[in-house]
Structure 1
Amino acid sequence: MRHLALLALSLVGLPAMALTTVDLYRSEVILDQAVDNADAKARVEGMKEVIVKASGDRNAISNQVVQKALKQNGQYLTQISYGDLNGSQTLKMGFSAPHIRSLLSQAQLPVWPADRANLLVWLVEEGQAERNIVWEHADSSILTRMKQEADKRGLPLTVPVGDFDDITGLSVSDLWGGFALPVGQASQRYPVDAVLVVKAQGNSVRWTLYDQKPATVGVTRQAPITGSNNGADAASKMVNQISDYYAKKSAVVVASESSETLKVRFTELNDAVGFFTLENKLKGLSSVAAIDILKIQGNQVTFNIHLLSSQAEFEQEVKRVAPVVQLENAIEREVVPPVTVETGLSRSEDLAVVNAESNDAEAIQPVTVESLPEVIPAESILQFEWQGKPYVYTAPVEVLPEDANDVSSDIEGEALDSSTSSNG
């Protein structure tokens, strides 16, 4: 029994994995009861938060593909419920991870993996009389804002608990003076990936980020990252800058993929103007993420359409915004022609012909093998006939000034007078 107790204690003392897995696809938004359709607007805001958190890009919500998807947020929602936050009613939402990742790839936006660096935050606030270290459960408006912004960005933060080891292991002067070695030594008891030291004075913050394991802080020559921010939102700005740094460091752009793609052919496109008009209309559809041109043959164009919604919704949108008539689907079955292969020279005793006079074997003939044609499975292609009016070039008409006729008359009159005078 004693051995089991010792084993349990030893397991408790082992450091956990530092990288923290962030729940990227949940959000909670306060409902604004003063506006119409409060739930609908909250769903949009919740999806925006998830997209920023998953991509690591604050500008992701301005992407054209994302803007279309926000209008169809119901396709991405998996859970929805009501909650309460500080006395205000909230809407709690869960979104589909595969669908959000697919949306980011369609929009060519980065994906910031859910396993993220955990930062230990040493926060020192300067008051009127003294400076104090802010511990995990302290009542600090700066720490609250930091946590709120870090939650929106999906940046894991760990705040020292402020127990006996913390209080005796590090002093305010060590933090304020920027002494890296004692900071690193005091931080080693926490399983984190980096250490952030923040010094707050009123509405300004100065910060130093040691993007390295605590055991190497103050030991190696790796230079820290520093910055400063001012204003009422200084803490939020700081968290956003650090989040941008880690997102840029770890995020990747995944090759474009779609939850559903569709091949669509348009016929009777007899001029370039019609083609570009059609292409722009397709790109503007809310059901379309992106389009690829597969083939142009005669007056027909075949597209590969990356859909944000169902095929039925796409068909309805096309017929609503473009001058087209839907035709029967085309069935294509591509057959690869047979290939003739020469296998080289071969000889069989049964086929050998012996020339009695010269005792030479008959020349060996190459054997030709014709492979069977390869048949690719049939494919259905959605078809529309373009009904747009053909482009007609109109030559520009030269317009004379309003007084051109008067000037012409004056010139003719002067010429006539001159002619009369000379005759006289």
Structure 2
Amino acid sequence: MALQMQPGKLLLAIVLMLCSNLVYAIEVNNLYVADVSADQSQRQWQSNALTQVITRLTGLTDLSAYPAITSELNNAGKYVKQFESVRHNGISRLKVLLDAKLINVLLQQQEIAIWGAHRPEILVWIVQQQGADRFFLRQQDNELVQLLRQSLAEHGIPVTLPLYDMDDLMRLSETDVWAGFWQAIDQASNRYRPNMVMTLAFDEVSQNGDKLLRLSWQRQAPVPGTNQTRIVRNETTAAEYAELVSAFAAALTAELAAEQAVVLQAEHNTYQLAVSNLQSLADVVTVETLLNRVLGVATVTLSEYSAKEAKFAVNLQIELSQLTDILRWEPALLLSDTPHSTSYNTSYSATYSRESGINEPTASAVELNMVSQADIRYVFIRR
């Protein structure tokens, strides 16, 4: 039986639900927060903060090809919302919060793709070779491991490290990781249920008579338009570990952004998105709030709702296929193989406004008998 609710009670219920912690999403926090040295002029730290955030969002390290952006770097103060001074190990730093909306508009105007907050959680196996010895970097407090985690966090790349317990070591050896034996790597990684798996291998090489540190990596990457993955390989060298890890993090950000970033379009298109396995209004609000947090979603309108399914009119600044690519990293939504279904629902309209931050019902609930057609369907996975 379809659920019926008076508009006033509906608004109250939705507002209450929005105040609760119901959203389950893999989202990277603080994409628009920069960490810069306080030992520089205001103009310099503002410019460096904006550069840091743009690099994190786009993977671009050289902005000289975009004169409009380099011009904005000289006027970066207008992008600063707030900042605070912090001290770490006796060094003064500035935490700078920049305006996400203004930055997104700037990148949109330059037709530069943006890598949003929904990012894959990467399981990273790390092995190092020194002379004839090859070993896992198993300790969380290892200096090189900490350097890696810090650099990847600065670029907004979420990672998980294996436990390297008996289960792991029975399934996977250092040589498996070093050689890229992906059948063994995948079997050992399954217990962690990662979005993506990566291997890192540290060693030393000689170039022109000089010894350099080398970091080689292999990772899974989605094949566009399919559910398949391929293996991407790359490497970098440097004289010092800090330089090596920094170059790796920048290169990885550029790789992932090239695969996953989207260009926000000036023209919007509306699609019908249906979600099943919704057991309560709380589930409906969870999904609606989740969708509104996705980069490229302008508005979400709840148009139909029954005891098990809701349909949303989703207004997009991106292609529908790009939305599905982003949502592949969202554990609460599973893409359905069935594009359409027939149901009889109680319908009402409640549009989420980005400006006000609340759902605003636009019509009274009316009993309708109708066929629910959708451009795409998902199944809600409750945690």
Aligned with 1:240 (options 237, 240, 250): 250
CA contact 2:33–2:53 (8 Å) conserved in 1: yes
Distance, in Å, in 2 between the alignment partners of 1:96 and 1:50 is 10
Tell me how large the CA RMSD over aligned residues is: 2.9
Q: What TM-score results when the alignment is normalised by the length of structure 2?
A: 0.54
Distance, in Å, in 2 between the alignment partners of 1:123 and 1:140 is 13
Distance, in Å, in 1 between the alignment partners of 2:162 and 2:258 is 27
Distance, in Å, in 1 between the alignment partners of 2:91 and 2:133 is 36
CA contact 2:32–2:97 (8 Å) conserved in 1: yes
Aligned-partner SS, 2:36? strand
Is 1:130 matched up with 2:133? yes
Deviation at 1:94, TM superposition (A): 0.6
Q: Structure 1 residues 212, 163: CA separation in 2 closer, same or farther (over 3 Å shift)?
A: farther
Aligned with 1:24 (options 16, 24, 31): 31
Q: Structure 1 residues 153, 164: CA separation in 2 closer, same or farther (over 3 Å shift)?
A: same
Matches within 5 A, 1:200-219: 200-202=202-204, 203-211=213-221
Q: Structure 1 residues 117, 109: CA separation in 2 closer, same or farther (over 3 Å shift)?
A: same
State the match for 1:106 in structure 2.
109
State the match for 1:357 in structure 2.
none
Aligned-partner SS, 1:27? strand
Aligned-partner SS, 1:117? coil
Q: Which one is further off, 191-200 or 52-61?
A: 52-61
State the match for 2:286 in structure 1.
none
Aligned with 2:237 (options 230, 235, 242): 230
Q: What TM-score results when the alignment is normalised by the length of structure 1?
A: 0.49
State the match for 1:174 in structure 2.
176
Aligned with 1:250 (options 244, 249, 260): 260
Q: Structure 1 residues 26, 125: CA separation in 2 closer, same or farther (over 3 Å shift)?
A: same
CA contact 2:43–2:77 (8 Å) conserved in 1: no
List gaps (5 residues or longer) in structure 2.
1-22, 205-212, 268-383
Aligned with 1:159 (options 158, 161, 175): 161
State the match for 2:79 in structure 1.
76
CA contact 1:193–1:212 (8 Å) conserved in 2: no
Q: Between Structure 1 and Structure 2, which shows a larger proportion of strand residues?
A: 2
Aligned-partner SS, 1:47? helix
1:203-229 C-alpha deviation (Å, 9 max, x unpaired):
01222112269xxxxxx9854111222
Aligned with 1:40 (options 39, 43, 51): 43
The structure whose Rg is larger is 1
Distance, in Å, in 2 between the alignment partners of 1:170 and 1:17 is 31
State the match for 2:149 in structure 1.
147
State the match for 2:194 in structure 1.
192
The residue type paired with residue 230 of structure 1 is: T
Aligned-partner SS, 1:224? strand
List gaps (5 residues or longer) in structure 1.
1-15, 214-219, 258-424
Q: Which one is further off, 64-73 or 89-98?
A: 64-73
Distance, in Å, in 2 between the alignment partners of 1:197 and 1:228 is 11
Aligned with 2:98 (options 87, 95, 98): 95
Give the fraction of aligned pairs with identical amino acids, expressed as a percent.
25
Q: Structure 1 residues 23, 152: CA separation in 2 closer, same or farther (over 3 Å shift)?
A: same
Q: Structure 1 residues 243, 80: CA separation in 2 closer, same or farther (over 3 Å shift)?
A: same
State the match for 2:303 in structure 1.
none
Q: Structure 1 residues 27, 178: CA separation in 2 closer, same or farther (over 3 Å shift)?
A: same
Distance, in Å, in 1 between the alignment partners of 2:64 and 2:33 is 16
Q: Structure 1 residues 48, 54: CA separation in 2 closer, same or farther (over 3 Å shift)?
A: same
Deviation at 1:85, TM superposition (A): 2.6
1:62-97 C-alpha deviation (Å, 9 max, x unpaired):
522222322332221122101123321100111111
Aligned-partner SS, 2:192? coil
Distance, in Å, in 2 between the alignment partners of 1:105 and 1:207 is 32
Higher relative contact order (CA 8 A, sep 6+): 2
The residue type paired with residue 231 of structure 1 is: A
Aligned residues: 231
Aligned-partner SS, 2:60? coil
CA contact 1:199–1:205 (8 Å) conserved in 2: yes
1:339-394 C-alpha deviation (Å, 9 max, x unpaired):
xxxxxxxxxxxxxxxxxxxxxxxxxxxxxxxxxxxxxxxxxxxxxxxxxxxxxxxx
Distance, in Å, in 1 between the alignment partners of 2:132 and 2:184 is 25
Aligned-partner SS, 1:57? coil
CA contact 1:195–1:212 (8 Å) conserved in 2: no
Is 1:118 matched up with 2:121? yes
Q: Structure 1 residues 129, 94: CA separation in 2 closer, same or farther (over 3 Å shift)?
A: same
